[in-house]
Amino acid sequence: MNNSVFFGALTVAGLAAGAAAAGTLDDVKARDKLNCGTNTGLVGFAAPNANGEWEGFDIAVCRAVAAAVLGDSTKVEFVPTTGKTRFTALASGEIDVLVRNTTWTFSRDVDLKFDFVGVNYYDGQGFMVPKELGVSSAKELDGATVCIQTGTTTELNLADFFRANNISYEPVPIETEAEAQQQYLSGACDVYTTDASGLAATRATFDDPSAHVLLPEIISKEPLGPLVRHGDSEWGDVVRWTLNALIAAEELGVTSANLTEMTAGTNNPEINRLLGTEDNLGEMIGLSADWAVKALSVGGNYGEIFAKNIGENTPIGLARGLNAQWTDGGLLYTPPFR
Amino acid sequence: MSTLSDPPKLGFRPSMLINDTRYRSLTFQVIAAIVLALAIWYLGNNLLQNLKAAGLNISYGFFSTPAGYDINQRLVEYTSQSSHARAALVGVLNTLLVAFLACITATVLGVIAGVLRLSNNWLVSKLMMVYVEIFRNIPVLIWIIIIFTIMTASLPAPNDFRGEDPQASMLFSSFAFTNRGIYTPLPFFTSGIFASAALNWLLVIAGLGLSWLVTRRIGHWATARQEATGLRPKTGLWVLAAWLLPLVLLMLVMGLSWELPELKGFNFQGGIKIGGPLIALWFALSIYTGAFIAENVRAGIQAISKGQTEAAAALGLRQGRIMNLVILPQALRVIIPPLISQYLNITKNSSLAIAVGYADITATLGGITLNQTGRAIECVLLLMLFYLTASLLISAGMNIYNASIKLKER
């Protein structure tokens, strides 16, 4: 009796593991909930607010996908992952999509069998030092002690940068963001390094942000974007085009303010195709005709999401920079909705 | 004449496997073993199949590729261009280092606290009770983080040593206590006999070995004299000379000198650096496990009947000698077996190192390497193998020691 239960459980476990590779889109619809892997807490990108609701720049992408697929932006289960657990969580099917400041690299895309569906933030690794040190360039950091949050490409970039400039340093790899900040603030490290956006977010939480400066060197390319499991292109397409819809909406001037008006029909065919009043893009991707309208109704277009969570008027205070539309000299450029 | 014939010899029938008590237990054991083997095979096969379905395979090829990251504490040569295997080796040595140091200090602390807890002095015994109860009842990870945080918050940063009127200064101008670690002078030889420093130090170790042999000879000679004449000659000065003479001679010949740590740039340079993470981890593991060992020691001492103490006292032995000659040697038999598991605990608990940024095997192989290569199963299997091997070796070594001190029955 006990044995049969045991084997029954084993069989179920085996089947579940086998089924995870099949259609994620159908799984999400059947579950009526999107499992979204995210950061354990990085203000501006993904952190619970005072009411315990997750919000941030990465969170907005998850909510948009949930709205596009399920029609409700609250049907998301946020799974906080660390630098170590994120890939296992995605590969095992625990989460459907990972949006966690994850850098798109060759080996992650190819060797780890994931698909990066796009870039929602073009970042680069930077350095933060206390102003009183009087350092103005990362090349002056010979012999410095550097705090790093471990388990990221950060360590590799750092090693490469110091080797290329033939200067020495002492790494202090720290498991969590909070612990690393404490080390930096108490002076146990001279420098704190991570993605420039993360540095700005971290600095915003300090008692006296003006006592710390970000050095001008950006030592790496860090295209951060959402990723899904390799081999499920339908699901990959859904996430990719939801992100593209957010970006294209900004380019086409569709905002949360004029969304209802635009949905009634415009004389710009591209907007009509995006919002589902012309053609049948929704059907092609396996969603309802107004999928993009639902995605946009959550937090508006890419520009609005950026401004609300990490833009210049927030404590994070990031400029658009590389993350401006291509028409404004940035890198955001979506393929046409056609 | 007996016509009784032998009872009919029945051959083996399959039903006997269940009905015959001689075979029954065997039957069930075989069935259980087969079921267990099948279950393990099923799980392993399931894993391999799923990995295959996901397009992943088990491969240790990544081991020879460059690691690409730096490690702050390296006992062997290592750069960011060394291989992942080398990084794992650095981690292994760091784990063994902190485990070794913590085992020694935890034992010393534990024995002292365990003996003092039985003291007749009310204050001392209560203090030891408070120590034991506080430290063993709070998880070791919390101790590690508390100690590290207190250390970085209370000790001065290297920057505070700077300037005309610094906020902090070095002890005897040679020891610097900073929140990044402790810097001490580094001894070196100005006119070594060999060119390589390691060989010179080997010579010093050989000298110490010689001293040890000589002191043993002196001890044997003293015992022989005692047995012949009944009086033990005083050997203290001879022993001291045997230890000091070769050491001082070697130091003079090779020209011992000290390299002092000096504040240069962002950090102290030169001298020996004992990193903050190592100190925090070492200290936390020692006091935490020391509390457990104290209880083992107390149990061992209390297991020796009071009659032994009284008999020894009746023979005229003093308190200290009763403890050293009568109680502790017998108590060790009770203390050693649980002590082995405490040593294993220290080794395994050292895997919490990454909480304070200490680069042990879990932080290198199980942390950064795992993350950069994404080879989770391979790395975790190796980690398991390492901890298993280390634990089995420690327990084998301690079992040999245990066998050597246990009651010899003739």
Find the CATH number of the domain harbouring A214.
3.40.190.10
Q: What is the ipTM of this complex?
A: 0.71
Residue A204 and residue A229 in one domain = no
Is B330 inside any structural domain?
yes
Residue A193 and residue A238 in one domain = no
| Nearest CA-CA distance, residue B354 and chain A, Å | 6
b/e sequence B383-405, b meaning 16+ C-beta within 10 Å: beebbeebbeebbeebeeebeee
The closest alpha carbon to B157, from B263, B58, B60, belongs to B263
State pLDDT tens for residues A75-109. Answer: 999 999 887 788 888 988 899 999 988 889 888 88
The reply to whether residue B370 touches residue A83, judged by beta carbons under 8 angstroms, is: no
**Residue A171: its chain B contacts at CB < 8 A?**
69-72
Residue A248 and residue A104 in one domain = yes
Is A9 inside any structural domain?
no
In the predicted model, is pLDDT for residue B95 greater than 90?
A: yes
Q: Could you list the residue range(s) of the whole structural domain that residue A142 is in?
A: 125-220
**Residue B86: its chain A contacts at CB < 8 A?**
none
Residue A229 and residue A293 in one domain = yes
| CB proximity under 8 Å: A 139-158 to B | 141-145, 150-153, 155-156, 158
Is A17 inside any structural domain?
no
| Nearest CA-CA distance, residue B160 and chain A, Å | 10
Full-model pTM: 0.76
List residues bridging with A70 in a β-sheet.
Answer: none
pLDDT confidence of A70, banded at 50, 70, 90?
very high
Q: Could you list the residue range(s) of the whole structural domain that residue B145 is in?
A: 57-162+276-381+394-410
| CB proximity under 8 Å: A 65-94 to B | 83-84, 87-88, 91
* Minimum Cα–Cα distance from A132: chain B residue: B159
Residue A194 and residue A310 in one domain = no
Is B217 inside any structural domain?
no
Q: Contact at 8 Å (CB) between A43 and A252?
A: no
Q: Of A169, A190, A220, which residue constitutes the final position of a domain?
A: A220
Nearest to B54 among A14, A113, A143 (CB): A113
pLDDT confidence of A7, banded at 50, 70, 90?
very low
Residue A250 and residue A230 in one domain = yes
Nearest to B80 among A21, A133, A159 (CB): A159
Q: Of A220, A247, A281, which residue constitutes the final position of a domain?
A: A220
Q: Of A194, A220, A246, which residue constitutes the final position of a domain?
A: A220
Is B95 inside any structural domain?
yes
Q: Which CATH number fits the domain that encloses residue B90?
A: 1.10.3720.10
Query: How many separate domains does chain B show?
Result: 1
In the predicted model, is pLDDT for residue A246 greater than 50?
A: yes
**Using CA atoms, how far apart are residues A159 and B221, in angstroms rounded to an integer?**
61
| Nearest CA-CA distance, residue B258 and chain A, Å | 22
The reply to whether residue A150 touches residue B367, judged by beta carbons under 8 angstroms, is: yes
Residue A214 and residue A250 in one domain = no
* Minimum Cα–Cα distance from A16: chain B residue: B50
Residue A118 and residue A145 in one domain = no
Query: How many separate domains does chain A show?
Result: 2
State pLDDT tens for residues B2-22. Answer: 566 666 666 778 888 888 888
The reply to whether residue B70 touches residue A17, judged by beta carbons under 8 angstroms, is: no
| Nearest CA-CA distance, residue A150 and chain B, Å | 7
In the predicted model, is pLDDT for residue A5 greater than 60?
A: no
Residue A164 and residue A98 in one domain = no
**Residue B277: its chain A contacts at CB < 8 A?**
172
Is A39 inside any structural domain?
yes
* Minimum Cα–Cα distance from B67: chain A residue: A156
Is B22 inside any structural domain?
no
Residue A210 and residue A234 in one domain = no
State pLDDT tens for residues A108-154. Answer: 888 788 999 999 999 888 899 998 888 888 888 888 889 887 766 78
Residue A115 and residue A228 in one domain = yes
The reply to whether residue B367 touches residue A10, judged by beta carbons under 8 angstroms, is: no
